[in-house]
Amino acid sequence: MIGNWNTTAARTLRSLRGTSAPMTYTLIAVCCLIFVLGPASGFNPSYGTGEALATAQRAYFRHWGVVPADLFDGPAREALTPATALFIHGSWVHLLGNMLFLFVFGAMTEERMGRVEFTVFYLCCGYLALLGYAVANATSPQSLVGASGAISAVLGAFLYLFPNARVTSLLPFLFFLPLRFPAWVVLPFWAALQWLALNQAPSGPGVAYLAHLVGFGLGFGYAWVRYGRTTKVKVPAPAPEGENQP
């Protein structure tokens, strides 16, 4: 059993080294592994069931997620939570939605930036996106988890670097017909949806649209400053369009 596990791990590492975007796939794998081992997946029997599981989930999200009220008035360790929260997800839908966006848009962005720069970019923008949400909701006792602040930064960078890449979109009002549009149409439209949703969202727990917008702006701004004098790469890349939770 141990030998099989070691063989599988070695093959996985060799596969990652052979790809042009190893960090994108590593981030996806880490997020999936943490989710499966945590209480939100329902796969780990050590967290119990029923009310015990619900209590464990709340404690888990509060410990690893961003709680704005604690971030500014709590112990020093809370300053790390905008980083740890990037790897925690609240449900299967939350996880799969975020990882799909990262899979589609992350690989080309990493290829353009390079693995080290992409990783630092992803973590720093994700941290700042969650921090921005916390500043705007400084008294909130609700936990915020999820990678979508960082992934929104990837979308922003992708828009600047690959504005003419063809993006496959599924539009509800057209019966989810797959249509292909350039990124300069799809991604600003996505950002506009986040803005509209932010202004219509009720107070309390839910989707942190502000973190999406902050991340998107940071990603686009970084790419503009970092690559503003270089030639943009024009390579087509299919991608689904949809809502993305934090």
**Could you confirm whether 143 is annotated as catalytic?**
no
Alpha helices in 114-245 (DSSP H): 115-136, 148-161, 183-200, 209-227
The alpha carbons of the chain give a radius of gyration, in whole angstroms, of 18
CA distance 147 to 144: 10
> 144 — phi, psi (to 5°)?
-120, 125
From the candidates 89, 143, 152, 212, which is the catalytic residue? 212
In whole angstroms, give the CA distance from residue 217 to residue 142: 24
Q: Is 89 a catalytic residue?
A: no
Question: Catalytic residue among 143, 148, 152, 169, which?
Answer: 148
Number of H helices, E strands in the chain: 10, 2
Q: Give the torsion through C-alpha atoms of 152, 153, 157, 162, to 10 deg.
A: -20
What residues contact residue 128 under an 8 Å CB cut-off, 6+ apart? 82, 149, 214, 215, 218
DSSP code of 39?
T
Catalytic residues: 148, 212
